[in-house]
Structure 1
Amino acid sequence: MEARANLIRERNLRRLLVYLYRKEHALKVDMARDTGLSVVTVNALVRKLVEEKWLLEGEQVQPKLGRPATAYTFNYNHEFFALFAVKDRNGKLVVDAKIVNLKGEAEFQETVDFSGITLDNLCKIVYSVLQKNPEISKIAVSIPGKISEGQVTSSWHSKLDDWPVMKALQELSGLPVVVQNDAHVMTLGYSLLQRISIRKTTIVGVFFPLQSMPGITILIDGKLMEGNHSLAGEGKYLPFLMDSGVPQTKGKQLADLAQIVEIYNAVLAPTSFILAAEKEDEQAVREFLASRPHLDLQPNTPTIYIDHDFQKSVWQGLFWLAAQYDEKLYFFE
């Protein structure tokens, strides 16, 4: 009986937190009416949430009917996440860093040169950012490479291979750390921003900057298909790319991208592709794909999405991954 009561209490708390996260401000009478919870239950849950500082008590307001009531506000500053995106900029690595609250609002942001590509230097960058806010509760990092159990298995020009990034940052900070491939993070983030369902679908994401090898994501029914050592989809090991090498021209890049789409469309028959490309390149990408005879002959016709803002999608994906680390953060589901 006690276990069942706890389960119901957690379910009710979950419902109220989701409502408050989305609503931001509410009276108890609003909470009861909109969630379907009883006034008695709402009173008990609000008391708990105020004690834990999830909710902030505001001023008394006069509703249309009844006595003055206390207005409550969701505390988006209850926790902060430190987000780090290691990325290529004009052939060199930089680290974009952000500190965000539970609403995703940035209170700090900077870009740091990472031409000294060592794990120790990455730790120094992270440590410097952590000093900006003692309330940081989680760290999320995107890496231009494949990640297996927090360790890099294949990376940008092989410069980060075998780095135990998650372990190093956990030891540095004492905080929960999630580390993920940048193409994976982009695919998740774009899907969230565009409200593309990741359930009961197959999505292939491709990040293929010029003069670099592609990052490829396979997302099936909301789960990443990682493979052995998380090498599933590692584009640089596709035979035709191993033979031809990194594309040096836009024409070659388009041809390689089209071949990737054809291969993954034949093997996985995905519901959709998410392709990272600049806005001015979208027409060229779509026209080139439309000109390929193999795609017309393949029975699967996926939806093609073009992500014009790779970094925005990465931030959203990192934010979501940091929140998913903690089961208490119900409102991010």
Structure 2
Amino acid sequence: MKKEINIIREQNLNAVKHYFFTHQSALKSEVAEQTNISIVTINSLIKQLVAENIIIEGDKIKPNLGRPSNIYHFNYHHAYFLLISVEEVTQENEKKLALRANVVNLAGEIFFEETCLFTTFTIDYFLELIEQFLAQIEEYPIKKIGISFPGKVYQKKIVSSWYNKFNDWELETQVEDRFHLPTFIQNDAHLVTIGSSLLHHVEREQTVVGIFYPDRSMPGITLFAQGHLIEGRHHLAGEAKYLPNLISQNVTESTSALKQHLVEILEMYNAIIAPDRFIISADAIKKSELEAAIYNSAILDKQINTAEIFIEEQFALSLKIGLLWLVTPEEGYYRNEPT
């Protein structure tokens, strides 16, 4: 019985935290009304959240009816995160990797940003760069580290990566052991898709297929259904370089070939998954050209499923939101949970 009471209290606590997170400020009476939790329980929960510095007690305000009451505000500064994205960059017509580091609070506000080339493909060098970032941000009490990565991780080991440069690295474990901070690593294509879904308020019940197709690179594909990633065996679902039409191909150089391959992926996944929505991020193709190629697909025209096709042009913002989703699994602030 005690266990059941604790579970109910935890559910109520999460509902109150999520309400404040999405509404910023509220009176106790408003929270009780909107969450269907009794005012007695709300009083107890808010007292706990104030003690934990998750919400802050504000001034008394006088409502239209009744006595003055304190207003409470969500404290977006009670947690800071170091978000690192491993990204392709082009220098002198050559593809390279860079680490982009941001320090953000729970609202996603950026307080620190730095980018440096990743030139030596060793785990020690990767850890050295993180150490350099942390040395510059000592004023921010970092709670967790989130890493966006061009590859796949299974049981904390990298099983597929950018030109196989990181295969077999146990990066998450190494980062946690070195810096004693909870660390989360996820595929970049997955995080862009999830971030875009949250950014544009895609309904949790929808099935989403994301296609991330960088310039002169192989695409990554994401399956995101009812708020959950579908990663497959060894988390290898969505490794598009193994699709029948791409497995024997070199990296696409021309825009016309990239458009062709992207439309073929749409046609395949529309038939196999029948999603509610496709989210496409392909900055090498003009939006108008991509829309025309999709519109002219005779196969999509014949297929019975008519998914919404959305072209995401806010890559950096989508990735940041995806990383915040990654590092806040317990809090649920970015999990699109119903309140």
Seen in structure 2, the aligned counterparts of structure 1 residues 95 and 63 have a Cα distance that, compared at 3 Å, is same
User: Among 175, 180, 187, which residue is 1:174 paired with?
Assistant: 180
Q: Does 1:233 align with 2:238?
A: yes
Residue of structure 1 in register with 2:89 after alignment: 89
TM-score (norm 1): 0.90
1:129-162 CA deviation, whole Å, 9 max, x = no partner?
A: 3341452111111111122123221111222222
Residue of structure 2 in register with 1:183 after alignment: 189
Percent identity between the two aligned chains: 39
Instruction: Give yes or no for contact 2:214–2:283 (8 Å, CA) kept in 1.
Output: no
Q: Does 1:311 align with 2:328?
A: no
Equivalent positions of 1:64-143 (< 5 A) are: 64-90=64-90, 91-131=95-135, 132-133=137-138, 135-143=141-149
Which whole-Å CA distance do the structure 2 matches of 1:148 and 1:219 have between them?
17
Q: Which amino acid aligns with 2:166?
A: L
**What SS class does the counterpart of residue 247 from structure 2 fall into?**
helix
Q: Which amino acid aligns with 1:85?
A: S
Instruction: Give yes or no for contact 1:206–1:215 (8 Å, CA) kept in 2.
Output: yes
Instruction: Give yes or no for contact 2:325–2:333 (8 Å, CA) kept in 1.
Output: no
Which whole-Å CA distance do the structure 2 matches of 1:247 and 1:253 have between them?
6
**1:66 to partner: Cα distance:** 4.6
The 10-residue stretch of structure 1 (288-297 or 182-191) with the greater mean CA deviation from structure 2: 288-297
Residue of structure 2 in register with 1:23 after alignment: 23
**1:190 to partner: Cα distance:** 0.7
Residue of structure 1 in register with 2:289 after alignment: 284
The 10-residue stretch of structure 1 (74-83 or 63-72) with the greater mean CA deviation from structure 2: 63-72
**1:293 to partner: Cα distance:** 2.1
Q: Which amino acid aligns with 2:326?
A: L
The gaps in structure 1 that reach 5 residues or longer are none
**1:251 to partner: Cα distance:** 1.0
What do you get for the CA RMSD once the two structures are aligned? 2.2
The 10-residue stretch of structure 1 (33-42 or 213-222) with the greater mean CA deviation from structure 2: 33-42
Residue of structure 1 in register with 2:9 after alignment: 9
The gaps in structure 2 that reach 5 residues or longer are none
Residue of structure 1 in register with 2:228 after alignment: 223
1:275-330 CA deviation, whole Å, 9 max, x = no partner?
A: 10339711111211222222223332222110112222111111111111x2x446
Seen in structure 2, the aligned counterparts of structure 1 residues 4 and 235 have a Cα distance that, compared at 3 Å, is closer
User: Among 245, 249, 254, which residue is 1:244 paired with?
Assistant: 249
TM-score (norm 2): 0.89
**What SS class does the counterpart of residue 259 from structure 2 fall into?**
helix
The 10-residue stretch of structure 1 (301-310 or 13-22) with the greater mean CA deviation from structure 2: 13-22
Aligned residues, how many? 330
Q: Does 1:160 align with 2:163?
A: no
Q: Does 1:209 align with 2:214?
A: yes
Q: Which amino acid aligns with 2:317?
A: K
**1:68 to partner: Cα distance:** 4.1
Which whole-Å CA distance do the structure 1 matches of 2:317 and 2:333 have between them?
23
The 10-residue stretch of structure 1 (159-168 or 115-124) with the greater mean CA deviation from structure 2: 115-124
Residue of structure 2 in register with 1:146 after alignment: 152
